[in-house]
Chain A
């Protein structure tokens, strides 16, 4: 604790010496949203706007024999109809796996697959026109289970698949893992299942397209990856990218659910090109559920060897991943299911064998903590089981396996700063772990789990030699600055992050800065809001641009004061002489000096990732990041052994984000992450009904159920700062890492409360009751002792 205290004090001092960094900022773009002024995509109105609708497949797997659009085209008010034949070029967000068309060409692969789209004078007419389109299908056998889909005689689902229904297979082995397991003092073997879940951003997907008289096509979309959308639009429409402009308006949440192109974006573009009129498509909530691209269901078998002192000897994992009908990011997901597990604990040996299968379900993709939330659930439960078997405190067991700072993982990833031990310390202290855990009665418990996550990936999804991020800043004599960035602010606050960095360097107030983002005509290209890359990558680019301008301004002021430039600082809307602070001028005057010397004041910053921090084997670049965040959670639960209801009362989350540029925004990311993961642990499941033709079991917010104000536990955020040399001011990610530990922490807390293991999500009352029933039988047979001296009562049977 002494060490931590010193760090904490150091942080506070550092904050005082900064003009903006580490302060509690208000976001630069929140008030317009709160006043109902900000125009989200669905709020865009254009003269002559047509409304589009997509006709969707009622079958999970079928060949399209014929489509008759004649009646729809003849309807009054219908302006255009398109089908898959209008989009022959396949695409995919990962360029190696282009396996979907904007609309289905020859077959449909899940209930909800798009087969045709119409543009009409209003939504009601568009719906009627969709109903008038006649599609003749020839039904094919459908597969809702990945192992059934992988059976040798299964019919191929995806028309572009290269290996039947095997979407991707990754098997990597590091060191003699079988030997390590054999030589271990104990081996924990278990099966885990992580159910699919979906993002449910409150804003449904929406896109609007318009063609200018010059022929330039503009697409406004609720996307978190404008650049990848731009690339795929060019490819699918057969238009050069410079004839397309992509704009991301204010966005109503994404969480990975808007991180690749969707059918509606291609359809509005094509329909606008055909009709010469602007076209909008807004998904219904039901369509959002079917579009999905959410968390992959994973069946995981784990073997973990431990020495008696609690240290890990080896980890062997076999994972079956249910991919749904298309690849999406699935190639990466399959790697991530193993590659991102190798910190914060030392794995001396490791093997993972992950297979992703196509199934006749909505395609899975990246959801907050892409590909690594599921294996994290498995390994953290494994550690807890080992701790029980070894009679060791599970926090102590984790400490003993800590990788530490500047370590190299077994799969050759170079880790920089690492605050994991402090994260453990902070949640241990804040939750009262040492005193309270032993005291909590039967039915109440505490659980711990840890994790790591990437701050962006070192390699872009398409290979290129260009920088990963770029920012341009301009200033002028008015005293204002404009920051141009292609980065997508999806609510996480990246626009504010850029303003904070610019204001820190230039001495401006946040309100003196306008951030213009995610408009391909105005902004430098950025890859988008995914893999928790923006603060580190775009932040670094912004820092470089801002420092370039700062140097020019300081030099211009210094020249007029006849002092060295390094004596001039910009802070508090002033330029001042650090050795004689009485000598100061307003920033506006300083900008005038610099503009007089240099003309237009503009600077660019670029950032590219280090290319020497990954594995030397095939696939070793996937999962390599400039910097890794670390997290620890303690969850407190109450389990009602009669009803099986689990109530999570408190969650303590400590997260090492390197440096919190805006602590309140970082806390918001931590709280939102805990919330989303808690929901996956306790209630959410995105499933289709195999008995009813593969329809979604509840494609509405009421049926799917996401936690309300009342369901959500009290969340206690503890920011930990171990600055990383790779991050701007040391900053690492905070948006995804803090989600990971909550699911295993709750599972481990349930064990602490009532002595049963939850190895499958969600931890629903039937699952808890089943587990209690199994335990009751074992207790009755005398095979195990009662948990916390609380014998489970023998049920009364008539």
Chain B
């Protein structure tokens, strides 16, 4: 195996340093080196979206992103969505039973969070379907996931209005 290199980046709001082989994908770095198991491997070739994380607030497929790519950047995984109480997305997914087996859910949450944060308003069902089209779910027929994301968009927009400067816990952009 090739010699490991030292990777430094912001992970869920905290600085991390980790040694990993240079061919490791970001997903492998997260799962094998940092034991962050929330990001899932469904296909390992960028088809299913279960490994979706955010790099600099944009959703990316961590299974086809090399670990070296995040040197000095900000990464948020589904573990970074957790906060005291419940994140509106978690709450709405739970309420609508939008996670059946839950395996695709972390990736869908990270794609949805990136999308809703970027638009900052209530979204329509059609907009959700378009924004999430690269994330596959085999259990739900997507219906309840769309229900959950539409409702969460309202809650998140209201939250943002209520606190201009105080951003979500786990959001790396405000923690430094």
Contact = CB atoms under 8 A, between A and B. Distances in A.
Contact of A715 (B35, B38, B136, B143): B143
Interface residues of B, number: 55
Interface in A204-222: 204
Interface string A483-517: 00000001111000000000000000000000000
A674 B141 contact: yes
A130 interface: no
B138 A253 contact: yes
A202 B100 contact: no
A706 B109 contact: no
Contact of B144 (A31, A251, A671, A708): A671
B19 interface: no
Contacts of B136: 202, 701, 706, 708
Contacts of B94: 26-27, 30-31, 34
B77 A490 contact: no
Given A665-B97, A701-B47, A34 B139 contact: no
Instruction: Please classify the interface of chain B as helix (H, G, I), strand (E, B), loop, or mixed, using the class held by over half of its residues.
Output: loop
A710 interface: yes
B38 A36 contact: yes
Interface string A232-276: 000000000000000000111111000000000000000000000
A227 to B, nearest CB: 20
Contacts of A250: 101-102
Which of A37, A700, A708 has the most CB atoms of chain B within a 10 A radius of its CB?
A708
B47 A251 contact: no
Interface string A386-406: 000000000000000000000
Contacts of B97: 25-27, 30, 493, 664-665, 668
A453 B32 CA distance: 43
Contact of B102 (A204, A255, A491, A674): A491
A251 B103 CA distance: 8
Contact of B50 (A25, A202, A665): A202
A250 to B, nearest CB: 7
B93 A202 contact: no
B48 A36 contact: no
Given A285-B44, A664-B96, A33 B142 contact: no
B133 A709 contact: yes
Interface in B103-135: 103-106, 109, 128-130, 132-135
Given A124-B1, A706-B136, A710-B129, A492 B100 contact: yes
Contacts of A589: none
Given A26-B94, A491-B102, A493-B97, A709 B142 contact: yes
A43 interface: yes
B37 interface: yes
Contact of B43 (A199, A672, A701): A701
A253 B139 contact: yes
A34 B103 contact: no
Contacts of B145: 709
A710 B125 CA distance: 10
A407 B44 CA distance: 51
B101 A201 contact: yes
A26 B95 contact: yes
B157 interface: no
A252 B37 CA distance: 13
Contacts of A715: 141, 143
A199 B99 CA distance: 18
A341 to B, nearest CB: 25
B62 interface: no
A277 to B, nearest CB: 17
B150 interface: no
B124 to A, nearest CB: 13
Contacts of A37: 38
Contact of A34 (B39, B48, B105, B141): B105
B107 to A, nearest CB: 9
A253 B101 contact: yes
Nearest to B21: A124
Nearest to A288: B43
B80 to A, nearest CB: 9
Contact of B138 (A31, A38, A200, A717): A200
A31 B50 CA distance: 17
A701 B105 CA distance: 17
B82 interface: yes
B128 to A, nearest CB: 7
A35 interface: yes
B99 A30 contact: yes
Contact of A40 (B44, B103, B146): B103
B85 to A, nearest CB: 12
Given A490-B101, A671-B141, A30 B93 contact: yes
B66 interface: no
B39 to A, nearest CB: 7
Interface in B136-159: 136-146
Nearest to A496: B97
Given A38-B102, A203-B40, A668-B97, A709 B48 contact: no
Contacts of B36: 36
B1 A671 contact: no
B42 interface: yes
B79 interface: yes
Nearest to B36: A36
Contact of A675 (B41, B47, B140): B140
Contacts of A282: 41
Interface in A684-712: 700-702, 706, 708-710, 712
A577 interface: no
Interface in A519-558: none
B45 interface: yes
A31 B100 contact: no
A648 to B, nearest CB: 12
A33 B94 CA distance: 10
Nearest to A671: B141
A45 interface: yes
A700 B47 CA distance: 8
Given A31-B94, A708-B134, A709-B132, A675 B142 contact: yes
Contacts of B11: none
A284 interface: yes
Given A35-B82, A701-B47, A201 B138 contact: yes
A31 B90 contact: yes
A59 B100 CA distance: 38
A712 B44 CA distance: 24
A674 B138 CA distance: 11
A34 B44 contact: no
Contact of B40 (A27, A31, A202, A671): A202
B78 interface: yes
10 contacts: A34-B106, A201-B138, A251-B101, A665-B97, A673-B141, A701-B42, A701-B136, A709-B133, A712-B129, A712-B142
Interface of A: 24-27, 30-31, 33-40, 42-43, 45, 122, 124, 199-204, 250-255, 282, 284-285, 490-493, 664-665, 667-668, 671-676, 700-702, 706, 708-710, 712, 715, 717
Given A200-B138, A250-B101, 19 more contacts: A24-B95, A27-B97, A31-B90, A34-B102, A36-B36, A36-B38, A36-B77, A122-B1, A285-B43, A668-B97, A672-B141, A675-B141, A700-B45, A701-B43, A708-B135, A709-B135, A712-B142, A712-B143, A717-B143
